[in-house]
Chains A and B, each alone.
Chain A
Amino acid sequence: MIVADKKPIDEIIGQIKDYKNILILGCNECVTVCEAGGKKEVGVLASTLRMHAAKEGNDIKIDEKTLERQCDPEYVEEIRDSVDQYDCIVSLACGVGVQFTAETYHGTPVYPGVNTCFMGATEKRGLWVERCQGCGQCILATTGGICPVARCAKRLFNGPCGGSTTGKCEISKETDCAWQLIVDRMKSLNTMDEFEKLSPIKDWSTDRAGGPRKVVREDVQQ
């Protein structure tokens, strides 16, 4: 899932200070799971902003709505009839949802309510970790299912480097060395022969280096 973190409330208050009718728009997908922008977070943020406004003596109206997704047109269209009554939208979706909502409603300013961080997994509640960088050419088959692009600080393809000490990366004692994990996993899978093979230079044109990317599937297009 896409992992996001809450924005500081001061920043959101600063963004919306000139508006009177505000819609807090949540997303029922990834940001709900990482507890940053789901229905509950929408409620808490709306309540916080209402209390702040009341305390400051500002007369504002804040509505709450949570869409199934903000990255699909059919769900973003659900607010078409009501969007005109708002001066601005604070979207608690990931950066994709914020942009998609903004593209759909050109006349309404859309502000982000979360900081979108990475594609990751829930290691435990309250701890989300990065696992994929979407490089566009998956090499997990050759690295024991552990990604050196996302998890090695140097993105090495023939690691580990000399900075690997007792299984940890030199950037931090809390960061596992991805290549140590790969070697351990390959040993347990009895596939260390694969480790001996050198990986060729990766084609990075499918990564962000080639600019914004697209996936085109004509077979499923309508």
Chain B
Amino acid sequence: MRLTYPSNIRIIRVPCTGKVDVLHIMRAFEKGADGVCAIGCLEGDCHFNSGNLRARKRIEQVQEILQNIGLEPERAHMYNLSSAEGPLFAKYATEFTEKIKELGPNPVRVKNKQQAA
């Protein structure tokens, strides 16, 4: 397909989005990620029945935590697509990157860098 999507996205492969824990997402933010999105199978199409539904709930938990500490909850997001939808993946990747760029860098990373300097 030779599709292009923003190169600043780092893909972490997991067997199922149900494997992604709140703690994994939190650690990513703590280490300076500007945004984290989980991209799972379409709802109702999970090979493990409910992995993508669990991931959605975990993303919601992270959004609540982010909001509670004064960060934008939109920095965590859940997308669903089938593995045959490459163009949609590229679209989501671009859309998410644009959204995060609008929000600006993760303040945690900015402060950590200032402290280190």
Give the interface size class of chain A.
10 to 19
Asked if A9 and B112 sit within 8 Å, CB to CB, the answer is no
Which of the residues A8, A9, A10, A55 comes within 8 Å of B108, measured between beta carbons? Answer: A55
Cα distance, A59 to B21, chains bound together (Å): 27
Asked if B70 and A44 sit within 8 Å, CB to CB, the answer is no
Asked if A50 and B70 sit within 8 Å, CB to CB, the answer is no
Asked if B65 and A44 sit within 8 Å, CB to CB, the answer is yes
Give the interface size class of chain B.
10 to 19
Contacts of A47 in B (CB 8 A): 23, 26-27, 29-30
Contact A57 to B111, CB < 8 A, known contacts A9-B68, A40-B21, A51-B69: yes
Cα distance, A54 to B22, chains bound together (Å): 19
Contact residues of B between 61 and 113, Cβ < 8 Å to A: 65, 68-71, 107-108, 111-112
How distant is A89 from chain B, measured CB to nearest CB, in Å? 21
Contact A51 to B68, CB < 8 A, known contacts A40-B23, A44-B22, A44-B23: no
How distant is B74 from chain A, measured CB to nearest CB, in Å? 16
How distant is A120 from chain B, measured CB to nearest CB, in Å? 22
How distant is A172 from chain B, measured CB to nearest CB, in Å? 26
Chain B interface main SS type: helix
Q: Does B115 contact A (CB under 8 A)?
A: yes
Closest 9 CB pairs of A and B: A47-B26, A52-B69, A54-B108, A9-B68, A54-B111, A55-B107, A43-B23, A51-B108, A47-B30
Contact residues of A between 23 and 77, Cβ < 8 Å to B: 40, 43-44, 47-48, 50-52, 54-57, 59
Contacts of B29 in A (CB 8 A): 47, 51
Contact residues of B between 41 and 74, Cβ < 8 Å to A: 65, 68-71
Contact A55 to B70, CB < 8 A, known contacts A44-B26, A47-B27, A50-B30: yes
How distant is B67 from chain A, measured CB to nearest CB, in Å? 10
Asked if A10 and B68 sit within 8 Å, CB to CB, the answer is yes
How distant is B104 from chain A, measured CB to nearest CB, in Å? 13
Contacts of B65 in A (CB 8 A): 9, 44, 48
Q: Which residue of B has the minimal Cβ distance to A10?
A: B68
Contacts of B30 in A (CB 8 A): 47, 50-51, 54
CB<8 Å pairs between A and B, sample of 19: A10-B68, A13-B69, A44-B22, A44-B26, A44-B65, A47-B23, A47-B29, A48-B69, A51-B29, A51-B30, A52-B69, A52-B70, A54-B30, A54-B108, A54-B111, A55-B71, A55-B107, A57-B114, A59-B115
Interface centre among B22, B69, B112, by most chain A C-beta atoms within 10 angstroms, is B69
Cα distance, A143 to B45, chains bound together (Å): 47
Q: Encode contact with B along A139-170: 1 for CB under 8 Å, 0 otherwise.
A: 00000000000000000000000000000000
Contacts of B108 in A (CB 8 A): 51, 54-55
Contacts of B70 in A (CB 8 A): 52, 55
How distant is A112 from chain B, measured CB to nearest CB, in Å? 18
Cα distance, A51 to B108, chains bound together (Å): 6
